[in-house]
Structure 1
């Protein structure tokens, strides 16, 4: 490497050169001139190593001026080429650590060099430069998750299998037979190929169905069907299929929702492969399908208690493997849904219920499908009666059932709600007309405190029973809220009372509570600003989604909020959710009860910086909320 300071006479040309690239094109002239005056110019011949992990903490911030630099590991397919105007190594400089990859000149190249101290000074001076370096939370999250995987010593490949395309996981061509094939030939093909399923296709190789070994027992062996039977007589018709480019995590969630072992993959409508759960990931002692089956086969509360413990253990394992927070919280909620539905099935079978339509509704984090490892239960009941005179007797019978369900959920690891927001509370076991009246009171005349306590009811999601009752209530609610600025203003004022914990000098404002000193409440002050804002945006724009990320995305489009703003909010929310999960996981490993009170001193430099940026995004979100609805 050959370096030289840039001559003052070339300062203007250097500024002009930098102006051709982001973020320098948007920086204030004074900040860019300050930077240009401190740059050095370095020459690297083709093949020269610019930077490598063994060099320790980076001393320079690099901007490619001419030529190109390759960054990557040993695998050829992991190499990234950096061209003129591109910068490195942002992640290492922000985190104060060595680089993870080697940087090598792909050809004779020149780079601008800015000393690390000047890089950090520029971060403080220029908001544009700081945003460029820190707003891309997704890329920083990837680095953070790799550190988590290493810490838990359960890491898989660098490109986590759950994020890979299903096509890349396949190890063989699918085993298939045409319709009309006798069972004997289909079973022989499964035996010869040593596979657990066979796909059935038409003349154009389009999938028509699937038959698994598990199906053979219940559909062929036990009924005593002759082996000459055409396979389409016993196959699962119209099986669930995914495009070959879908990710493993998408397949995982679908398997959990539908309780299946296998999925067909298609490309251009034709069979491309068969993916099984064991293809996705290996989990010691348990799997998503195993937990799902245990729930489905549970005959009593004791069996469901064991399944509840398995859900928690599975969640810990998946977290350690680096599963994204959004996917993991949705998976936890999906499995909890299965458990709750099975418990309701068991209890309703033991009760003499009136012949009325009713629906069990999930509220709060379960309604949003955002449950973490520490969650209580929030639920309600909606029902209809044919006669007004039967209202109270129907309610009494439903409450008796709901009390048994609430107690059963408590036994399975979902503590009773301290605020008694549960279906067994007569206040929250209401007819459809009573629910409309209750929501009308909140919307038309609710005070700040009343609306604060009622906010989680707006996250309701049908879980069991006559789901149309909840859908009708949601549609009515969307119409009711339109054109009601008073309600939206009061909801906004409540949301803005919860200020993200950043100080004037952009450091954290920590709790002085004697029970949790020197901590951040990642639920109250971290996740909730995003949850509250997303709820208001969704209600204002008439969106039916209940999940925070979905609400932000859907309402962002409806309200014409720039996509990059919405993406930053969603990424920030997911990072805080990830920190909550990791913190709760760490406490449970130590034998402590999981909570949301995190000491930021326990974070790595990288995670601390991302958390600050996430809180800054919460401030931006609240500013947008205030602008739209506080007036």
Structure 2
């Protein structure tokens, strides 16, 4: 590295343009969150340096890093050998607002990356000593230097919540612990107390439920006012029966440190209005639906219950119009993309289950038990506001002839269900991956044969099927062998090396982002006016496919991409840092997609996955570039692991 001592001209350039430099800094994180005094300190100590295209700025050949660089104009390329994957040298481009080499300065070592001016550029330069002093003084700068992409993602979450709160109003976060909602000691009773006395106590304390406990204060049952209607309708003399004979046994429980979101999702999943809080098996509180947040225009628990008990397809259609309001409200209360997609999927599950019941009521029970299976994003719990159907039917049959007979009876029902789902906003699958397709209305043995065929003959067509069918979950019906089938699939997939290698190869076959986009990723949105990005195709898809391959190789049962990454890290297949970076990048892309859908919905536009790049702010630009870099890194791992 050539001498870096600032010239009088370089220092004068900073002082003469201090207001412009200050304005520049305030546009980019984390400088936009720093105190004015710390920004002025940076401007006073920094100098401006020009680098012509192709100039090496700093490299591993230099001694312990002595300078910190912030790009003011232009682009800088980083070239770094990958010690884990020697055949894959990592290359990336930094642009305006990016800085380097932070890790080297913090570790007091030389950088492991060679930084070269990708085009003519200007950098603000600060000595490592002054940069470290600034880190000690400024908490936002220190947090960003340590947290990196996670800090950017957190700031984006805060921006999304602030926008939704300004529109809707918000009193508290769904991340609040349940302990913070407990306002009094729980009211409980023993199992011997008659119902009449229990009701008197409930009336006295103005509560809607009574928890029944044993001698050691452990909850063994719960009785609610909703249960009262049931037991009195059965027999009015139940007023004098011990509550232990009328209660709902094994009440659902959560620890006090669980969040309001955890309780709301549990209530929505199980159609209940109360959750017991236990600490070391002891009852410490009860949280009701009323105690939880009311998600402004729409209450999650109420909407789930309403969907599950809708009287008609038309009623379901009307109820589902509230889901996008729920998404707005969840953002206002602090939900992240993972939580929101879980809720959307849960509500879609309730819609599906109720449609099945309504269709069976309309057409009559065929007398053939079946399981309704879902694939793809619904199986992973990752559905957004725009989604299509991927589903199938599993039934039992003793012979191929009987299987065909059952199929002919079930197909009209399946097709009616598919049509009703489409009417409720879950679009028909263009690839006909639906239960109404005879090839997806199969007996247990036929499903096993279908998966065997995919794994034994992984040609392009079957690999495309694998990208859908190997994310699977049962939504409706008493289990007819689905869990056993799932275990068999995982056991067999782990042993099929050729199948896994071909699946990994297919995961790398996503078409590259358009050249206009690639340049935008490297530079700024202003240089690519009109460029667009398909968030599902170019961003989310590669993460989903890579995580699926790695999870199948490790026999991981979880279907969600987030849980798969967590389990892969727990098993040591990927390191914790990679798991965190990839999870953050994936959650960010999901958040960007949800925000896009909300804007389109509010504007009355069709819902798509295509975002216009010139509509993104500075923070989104940086985060999207980083997310796309992480896409490349996870694909690099697949490439190296399977020698592709």
TM-score (norm 1): 0.78
> Structure 2 regions of 5+ residues with no counterpart?
9-18, 49-67, 72-96, 107-143
Distance 1:627 1:539, change over 3 A: same
Q: Which deviations, in whole Å up to 9, do the C-alpha atoms of 1:510-533 show, x marking residues without a partner?
A: 9x99xx951111111111111010
Correspondence for 1:319 among 322, 326, 331? 331
Deviation at 1:355, TM superposition (A): 4.7
Residue 614 in 1 paired to residue 627 in 2?
A: yes
Distance 1:522 1:211, change over 3 A: same
Distance 1:544 1:98, change over 3 A: closer
Q: Which residue of 1 aligns with 2:93?
A: none
Deviation at 1:628, TM superposition (A): 0.8
Structure 1 distance, partners of 2:496, 2:234, is 62
Mapping for residues 246-257 of structure 1, pairs under 5 Å: 246-257=258-269
Deviation at 1:295, TM superposition (A): 2.2
Q: Which residue of 2 aligns with 1:623?
A: 636
Worse overlay, 90-99 or 589-598:
90-99
Structure 2 distance, partners of 1:569, 1:246, is 25
Q: Which residue of 1 aligns with 2:394?
A: 382
Structure 2 distance, partners of 1:125, 1:603, is 24
Q: Which residue of 2 aligns with 1:419?
A: 431
Correspondence for 1:120 among 61, 66, 70? 70
Q: Which residue of 1 aligns with 2:349?
A: 337
Maintained 8 Å contact 1:530/1:618: yes
Residue 275 in 1 paired to residue 287 in 2?
A: yes
Deviation at 1:475, TM superposition (A): 1.9
Deviation at 1:181, TM superposition (A): 2.9
Deviation at 1:369, TM superposition (A): 1.1
Deviation at 1:350, TM superposition (A): 3.8
Q: Which deviations, in whole Å up to 9, do the C-alpha atoms of 1:304-351 show, x marking residues without a partner?
A: 222322334323432344311111111111111111111112222344
Distance 1:361 1:115, change over 3 A: farther
Q: Which residue of 2 aligns with 1:436?
A: 448
Correspondence for 2:305 among 279, 286, 293? 293
Q: Which residue of 2 aligns with 1:7?
A: none
Structure 1 distance, partners of 2:397, 2:634, is 43
Correspondence for 2:533 among 520, 541, 545? 520
Maintained 8 Å contact 2:69/2:100: no
Deviation at 1:573, TM superposition (A): 0.6
Deviation at 1:229, TM superposition (A): 3.5
Q: Which residue of 1 aligns with 2:32?
A: 97
> Structure 1 regions of 5+ residues with no counterpart?
1-29, 39-55, 62-89, 105-109
Structure 2 distance, partners of 1:112, 1:35, is 16
Mapping for residues 116-515 of structure 1, pairs under 5 Å: 120-121=70-71, 123-126=98-101, 128=103, 133=145, 136-152=148-164, 153-154=166-167, 160-220=172-232, 223-225=235-237, 227-351=239-363, 355-498=367-510, 501=513, 503=518, 506-507=521-522
Structure 2 distance, partners of 1:460, 1:277, is 31
Distance 1:457 1:114, change over 3 A: farther
Structure 2 distance, partners of 1:35, 1:411, is 69
Structure 2 distance, partners of 1:553, 1:92, is 34
Q: Which deviations, in whole Å up to 9, do the C-alpha atoms of 1:20-49 show, x marking residues without a partner?
A: xxxxxxxxxx79x979999xxxxxxxxxxx
Deviation at 1:557, TM superposition (A): 2.9
Structure 2 distance, partners of 1:194, 1:408, is 42
Q: Which residue of 2 aligns with 1:579?
A: 592
Distance 1:140 1:186, change over 3 A: farther
CA RMSD of aligned residues (A): 3.6
Structure 1 distance, partners of 2:524, 2:537, is 13
Structure 2 distance, partners of 1:291, 1:484, is 44
Deviation at 1:439, TM superposition (A): 2.3
The count of residues paired between Structure 1 and Structure 2 equals 547
Worse overlay, 184-193 or 125-134:
125-134
Q: Which residue of 1 aligns with 2:92?
A: none
Deviation at 1:440, TM superposition (A): 2.6
Distance 1:57 1:201, change over 3 A: farther
Maintained 8 Å contact 1:492/1:630: no
